[in-house]
Amino acid sequence: MEEQFRYIVELAKQYKIYNENTTELYRALNALSEDAIQSIYEEYGDTEVRFQPMNVMRSEVARNLLNKVEISEELVEEIKNKIRTKDLSYFKHLPDEFLKELKNYPLGKRDLFANWQKPWSMFHTFFYRDKTKETVQLYLNQLGKKLIQDLELKDYQTHWVDFYGASNFGSDSCWIALYPIQKDSHQDAYQFFILLSAASEAGRMAGFSISDPKPNSLIKVSRYSEALDVLNKQKTEIISLNMKIRDYFKISPGSQASFWGKFFQDGIAAISYQELIPFDITDITSLEELNEKAGLGKDSMSNQTWDLWLFRKAKVGDVIFANKGTNTCVGIGILKSEYFFEKSEDYPHRRKVKWITDKVYQYKANTLKNYKTIFRPDTFTPTKVWQFLLDEYIRLYPELAKVFEENNISYSKTISIDKPIDDEPKEINFWWLNANPAIWTISSFKEGDVQEYTARNEKGNKRRIYKHFQNVKPGDLMIGYESSPVKQVKAIFEITKELHMSENQEEIIEFQMIEKLEIPIHWNDLHNDPGLKDCEVFKNNQGSLFKLTEDEFDIIRDIIDNKNILQERILDETKSKKYSYEKDIEKPFLSASEFQQIISLLKRKKNIILQGPPGVGKTFLARKIAYSMMGSENDAQINMVQFHQSYSYEDFIQGLRPGKKGFELRNGIFYDFCKLAIAHQDRDFFFIIDEVNRGNLSKIFGELMMLIESDKRGEKYAIKLTYAEDEADTFYVPKNLYIIGTMNTADRSLAIVDYALRRRFAFVTLQPIYDDNFKSFLASKGVSEKLVEHICTAVQKVNHQIKNDVNLGNGFQIGHSYFCSFKNSIDENKWYDEVLVYEIQPLLEEIWFDNLDNVNAMINILKK
């Protein structure tokens, strides 16, 4: 690391001269190469970028340099004045639209160039750019990682600032700070600090937010090894000081706070993550070790392991806020125990908490300056807005002041909602990213994963609207969309690094997946919204990165929430309900071997039809099959539809429907469910079609007749649908989707199932069951032994008559489910009579419509 250290220090010495000696700065400015000046002019002279006074000033300086005009303090001040006075004639070489922006630019009491009084602030970007900037940033990253390794600080992270300075106004030094991972900012901690400058220093630095901090302890150093030695000597003290500082976190008690009541009642905070981390992490010593034990790479950025590790490392006495969504706080608590693991619980990773209030605070966007929301969507993370939240609770609920004081929680007596949390700018831009699924798929990544996207194509040419790549900055939010043939929004990303050069010498932006959508949102759901009619991406979708306004992002966010909140709630409510056919006290009256045979058939064929008389529990069995294959009672992965004579391809797959803008292309229920299954190919999905033979099957399935075959599943067999808008807009049925149809064989009015469709399904015939299992079930419901015996004997006699009737047969028998509705709280004789008169007798009258004497005879057999 000595070479990296030396390179940055030598550059700092040069920049210090430019910063302190204006003459030397202007001499160097006029000596810049023509290629460098041209690059500067192209960057700041781009009139498609939003008007900014400083960029206009810089572009004018570069234009003068290209025209061989010597730059001086007097010329720079003249250009500034032309901008201040909006001298349009001076800038007549610029496009009319840009001049209009200059003319309309608001002038306040503060000078336009107040932040750029020093020449170095204005011109540092003329020198610190391209390869120099890339190298410095790469070296700062390397130094930070090496420091963590050499100091053995596994639970610390790095923050560095380069020659742009903390506020991008230019600096003649760089610095690196190491601080605990549970801190949301380096400003909240005592830091392992290195200043790389003409007079470098290393040692302990107190964060800006620490109240009554211990004085800094910095010692001059000239090499990396000297800095490392200084930090090693102060290591024990810095760690000890940080352990004494209270931290503040937020926790999501289930989606939409669905488990908040249990958390509050039991005095706990807990995390699930059972699929990835179903084990006790008490003895795990680092995030890297947790990643490896979870089957991830050591350096994985998984949101789940990161959040859980923070939860494990949080200190007793730290404060946590329970959130619902991104703008609602439902309670405040104090951690009272270390981490522990309860294997048998739905949320096994736990901490005991003293919840001091369950009063609700609903945040209104931008109440706190520059904060549209106050919570991240993660499960457990540090929160920067803790002081604001505490102050707001006191404002709304003054009676909490005593509770806060008793628990040593500080709050402000005078509340200001105008100042930001810290001095870093928080203006957020919003973007839309088109991901080509032929190159990379959003679905293959997890929440917390960090991804990159190149600003140039494979031939090295700039992507369309290249300026958007130049304008992204850390903290910006981005919609993640997979283009044709998928055509779905699948995630929300947050920009983590602006445009920079990678180690492979590619221009890239870096972003983290902060939310993976449970239900992806199709293009048509957004394209049809009138609020998005002027959206850049919907006017011309050719390209990679598009700008969204805040309102457009909010509309898309609202559509996402409306579709996903209910689904997430269903998942949270059902994921803990494990299912076992053997342990199911309400399972179908089939032996385990018969049940497993049907499952084996479905796994092989992908499509089955359960057929039989009314009342044999076909739909009931279909759901139990799905539960068994999933291993849980998860209705979020089951969808159901009932066919009828008017049901069409447009309802089932895709079609034109009247909308606000005329006829709009809308996706059908099966199309959307297939897309959901494609988005989650690690799970099984089940589509149940009740009364499958009541619809015109060839018309409803259309070209899907081929796609549902077991050996035609998957992207390899994707085809263009009837309403496809382009050649790339194809569709397929995924391998993890199973179709279960049900069919009453007693329906006289229905045609025989299409032979082409029949070949694609396996048919399972179900019979009425009145055996010992059925008898035991009725007995468990409270039906007397006498009535149980009568039902079984009498119904079997009637079914025997039905089977032997040449005009009827097996398909018209009386199913056992007619007698499964008994509840112990009602009179069994009254119940049986009602079933007989209002359910069985109408059925018999239908099948023997021409022989009412036979109906009466059967009713007499069934009567007690």
Structure tokens at 380: 């457990």
**Cα-Cα end-to-end distance for the chain:** 94
**Has residue 200 got a pLDDT over 90?**
yes
Same domain, residue pair 85 and 215: no
Same domain, residue pair 360 and 216: no
Query: What is the DSSP code (8-state) at residue 432?
Result: E
**Has residue 840 got a pLDDT over 50?**
yes
Mean pLDDT of the 223-242 span: 95
| Axis crossing angle, helix 2-20 with helix 224-243, rounded to the nearest 10 | 90
pLDDT score of 418:
47
pLDDT score of 697:
82
Residue 49 belongs to some domain of the structure: yes
Residue 714 belongs to some domain of the structure: yes
Mean pLDDT of the 26-42 span: 92
pLDDT band at 421 (very low <50, low <70, confident <90, very high): very low
CA–CA gap between residue 696 and residue 644 (Å, rounded): 8
Same domain, residue pair 598 and 614: yes
Buried b (16+ CB within 10 A) or exposed e, 630-658: bebbbbbbbbbbebeeebebbbbbbbeee
Q: Is the Cβ–Cβ distance between 189 and 195 less than 8 Å?
A: no
How high does pLDDT run on average in the chain?
Answer: 87
Query: What is the DSSP code (8-state) at residue 817?
Result: G
Residue 615 belongs to some domain of the structure: yes
Same domain, residue pair 611 and 525: no
Virtual torsion, Cα 549, 553, 554, 559, nearest 10 deg: 140
pLDDT band at 9 (very low <50, low <70, confident <90, very high): very high
**Has residue 565 got a pLDDT over 80?**
no
CA–CA gap between residue 147 and residue 152 (Å, rounded): 8
φ/ψ of 315, rounded to 5, equals -90, 150
- Nearest alpha-carbon partner for 133 in 3, 256, 15, 49: 15
Buried b (16+ CB within 10 A) or exposed e, 50-89: ebebbbbbbbbbbbbbeeeeebeeeebeebbebbeeeeee
Residue 791 belongs to some domain of the structure: yes
pLDDT band at 575 (very low <50, low <70, confident <90, very high): low
**Has residue 752 got a pLDDT over 60?**
no
φ/ψ of 741, rounded to 5, equals -100, 155
pLDDT score of 522:
86
**Has residue 48 got a pLDDT over 70?**
no
Structure tokens at 130: 């391209």
* pLDDT tens string 588-632: 888 889 999 999 999 999 999 999 998 898 999 999 999 999 988
Residue 441 belongs to some domain of the structure: yes
Same domain, residue pair 601 and 729: yes
Alpha helices in 575-658 (DSSP H): 592-605, 618-630, 649-652
Mean pLDDT of the 167-174 span: 88
Q: Is the Cβ–Cβ distance between 241 and 191 less than 8 Å?
A: no
Structure tokens at 796: 């079997």
- Nearest alpha-carbon partner for 178 in 160, 162, 195: 160
- Nearest alpha-carbon partner for 473 in 534, 427, 518: 427
- Look up the CATH number of the domain holding residue 507: 3.10.590.10
pLDDT score of 374:
87
* pLDDT tens string 117-156: 889 989 999 999 988 999 999 999 999 999 999 999 988 9
Same domain, residue pair 794 and 675: no
pLDDT band at 415 (very low <50, low <70, confident <90, very high): very low
Task: Return the percentage of the chain with pLDDT > 90, whole number.
Answer: 43
- Nearest alpha-carbon partner for 605 in 687, 736, 710: 710
Same domain, residue pair 790 and 819: yes
Interior angle at CA 115, CA 112 and CA 117, nearest 5: 95
* pLDDT tens string 645-677: 889 998 999 888 776 566 777 888 999 899 888
Same domain, residue pair 758 and 779: no
CA–CA gap between residue 798 and residue 666 (Å, rounded): 49
**Has residue 226 got a pLDDT over 90?**
yes
Q: Is the Cβ–Cβ distance between 599 and 628 less than 8 Å?
A: yes
pLDDT score of 567:
62
Same domain, residue pair 236 and 252: no
- Nearest alpha-carbon partner for 686 in 710, 700, 670, 698: 670
**Has residue 833 got a pLDDT over 60?**
yes
Label residue 34 left, alpha or beta by phi (over 0 means left) and psi (-120 to 50 means alpha).
Answer: alpha
pLDDT score of 734:
93
Same domain, residue pair 728 and 660: yes
pLDDT band at 105 (very low <50, low <70, confident <90, very high): confident
**Has residue 159 got a pLDDT over 80?**
yes
Residue 406 belongs to some domain of the structure: no
CA–CA gap between residue 328 and residue 249 (Å, rounded): 14
Contacts of 157 (CB under 8 A, 6+ apart): 148, 178, 179, 180, 181
Q: For residue 715, give the amino acid letter.
A: E
Which range is most confident: 476-485, 486-495, 600-609, 754-763? 600-609
Mean pLDDT of the 453-463 span: 87
Same domain, residue pair 757 and 610: yes
**Has residue 359 got a pLDDT over 50?**
yes
Q: For residue 48, give the amino acid letter.
A: E
CA–CA gap between residue 508 and residue 471 (Å, rounded): 12
Q: Residue 160 pairs with which residues in a beta bridge?
A: 176
Strand, coil or helix: 17: helix
State which of 713, 745, 764 marks the end of a domain: 764
pLDDT score of 599:
94
Structure tokens at 465: 């609207």
- Nearest alpha-carbon partner for 53 in 70, 22, 34, 76: 76
Mean pLDDT of the 426-435 span: 84
* pLDDT tens string 530-540: 888 889 998 88
* pLDDT tens string 762-803: 999 999 999 888 888 888 888 899 999 999 999 999 999 998
State which of 127, 159, 184 marks the end of a domain: 127
Contacts of 758 (CB under 8 A, 6+ apart): none
CA–CA gap between residue 687 and residue 740 (Å, rounded): 6
- Indicate the range of 78-82, 302-306, 609-613 predicted with least confidence: 302-306
Q: Residue 370 pairs with which residues in a beta bridge?
A: none
Contacts of 799 (CB under 8 A, 6+ apart): 768, 813, 814
Provide the domain limits for residue 461: 430-574
Same domain, residue pair 671 and 596: yes
Give the count of beta carbons closer than 10 Å to the beta carbon of residue 48: 11
**Has residue 263 got a pLDDT over 90?**
yes
Structure tokens at 846: 């239908």
| Axis crossing angle, helix 53-66 with helix 73-84, rounded to the nearest 10 | 130
Mean pLDDT of the 402-422 span: 69
Question: Is residue 143 packed enough to be buried (19+ CB in 10 Å), middle (13-18) or exposed (0-12)?
Answer: buried
Q: Number of structural domains, the chain?
A: 6
Structure tokens at 523: 């293009």
Residue 412 belongs to some domain of the structure: no
Mean pLDDT of the 681-703 span: 88
Q: DSSP letter string over 717-735?
A: G-EE-TT-SSTT-EE---T
- Look up the CATH number of the domain holding residue 750: 3.40.50.300
Question: Is residue 464 packed enough to be buried (19+ CB in 10 Å), middle (13-18) or exposed (0-12)?
Answer: middle
pLDDT score of 660:
59
Mean pLDDT of the 549-568 span: 77
pLDDT score of 714:
87
CA 536 to chain centroid = 23
Q: DSSP letter string over 186-246?
A: GGGSEEEEEEESTT-EEEEEE-TT-SSPPPPEEEE-SSHHHHHHHHHHHHHHHHHHHHTS-
Residue 19 belongs to some domain of the structure: no
- The position carrying tokens 């923050």 is 159
State which of 84, 102, 127 marks the end of a domain: 127
Reported for 561-566, long-range contacts at CB under 8 A and 24+ positions apart, including other chains, are 563/519, 563/521, 563/525, 564/517, 564/518, 564/519, 565/255, 565/256
CA–CA gap between residue 365 and residue 554 (Å, rounded): 11
